[in-house]
Amino acid sequence: MEFEIRTLKPGPEPKITGPKVFGVRPGHPVLFAVSATGEKPLSFAAEGLPPGLTLDAQAGRFSGTLSERGEYPITLSTKNACGESKRSFKFVVGDRIALTPPLGWNSWNCFAEDVDEAKIRAAATAMAESGLADHGWSTINIDDCWQVRHPDPGRDAEGNILTNDKFPDMKALAEFIHSLGLKAGIYSSPGPLTCAGFAGSYGYEERDAARYAEWGYDYLKYDWCSYTEIAKDKSLAEYKKPYEVMRAALDKVDRDIVYSLCQYGRADVWEWGGGVGGNCWRTTGDIVDTWESMSTIGFSQNGKERHAGPGHWNDPDMMVVGQVGWGPSLHPTRLTPDEQYTHITLWSLLAAPLLIGCDMTRLDDFTVSLLTNDEVLDINQDPLGRQARRMSADGDMEVWMKELEDRSQAIGLFNRGSSPAEVAAEFKGRRMVRDVWRQQNLGPFDDGYKTAVAPHGAELIRVSNPE
């Protein structure tokens, strides 16, 4: 199978990457690391840094707190032996966090119940050492199976959640992840049991939220599962209730914890997930590494775009590129290379949380290239926070468009069919067109752009006004 690597490798010159805005609640610890490519070592600086924050010039990591609500624009810079790079950046202190979609990794799609602390540490190390962290990837999420399994109580005499033998010290694990400049995520269920039959949070929400904060976790995936046994009926109020309870518990801790609702799109969660304080919410069932699964999930997101924006994102589930397997036996994704380009292109346009689901210690060059194209990631992380919508559909050909902060548009041209086809995007007047994956300008075009697209493939362009 031919693997076309479209992404250009970074040069030795420094370049700041990653999000351009970061949200934090007043008085809560700031945990943000500047990401940058270029020949090491790099040094970092920030002009206009507000009182209360400091920046580690070698590691590029901010620390401290901001107590006053408002926006704090600064200028980031990074230097190495080859030059200097600058970028405008903004801290926003208020009620919203996750102002851009989360960029990270989750353990489930590769390890499932076979997860343990050593695998989490290895994944975090790989994110840092593979270079993915240099492109803004920042969160390591532990999914199910870190707790004690039913029928054991799963809690001590005071009601504190216990860990199983595979996770002897959750606080030390979070500290290790943080030492790499990354964030740590954890998992629970609003029911008495998790999906895999481990202890859930039902009846212990405040105690669990306090425990996660004490351990130093920054992200919570809250998975519906056994709450079905608790819910009195299928009313909207019953679907909302467990997420409101945990939201209230999280609001009592002095740490920002990104709140990810996982209840598989029940009761049109995209219409109310933000209202119960969710930062993102699953809109579908679980994804697997087939064209049918990925394409059905991805292309079904049209119409949900009006419910997404900074601090609240539609989540079409984790990505299935690289080595996946849901347990001890892994295999290369069954998606073809063109299908993988469709996968990453569509998820980026959808402003979806980008959560890698593969074994991070077994990344090949093609998978790395999919995950380290800064222009593609910039579309996903655009501060305007718009989700793409479908502009046209003609048989198997679809065109999706995402509006960007600089008034340009990112446009995906998709061929869902099994034969090569030309796909056309229409626009008014003369526009400059850039091939985002290949990172090259294609020139000015009048009233539209048309290109050949491979079967199950995608092309991604950025369209802007001529200078």
Residues noted as catalytic:
223, 286
Report CA 350 to chain centroid distance, whole Å: 11
Which strands form 103-106's sheet, in the order they lie side by side? 313-315, 280-282, 258-262, 219-223, 183-188, 139-141, 103-106, 354-356
Which residues touch 340 (CB under 8 Å, ≥6 apart)? 321, 333, 366, 370
Query: Are 384 and 403 spatial neighbours (Cβ–Cβ below 8 Å)?
Result: yes
CA-based nearest residue to 185, from 135, 115, 242? 115
Tally Cβ neighbours within 10 Å of residue 184.
26
Q: Can you name the residues that pair with 24 across neighbouring β-strands?
A: 93
Side-by-side strand order, sheet with 70-80: 21-24, 83-93, 70-80, 43-47
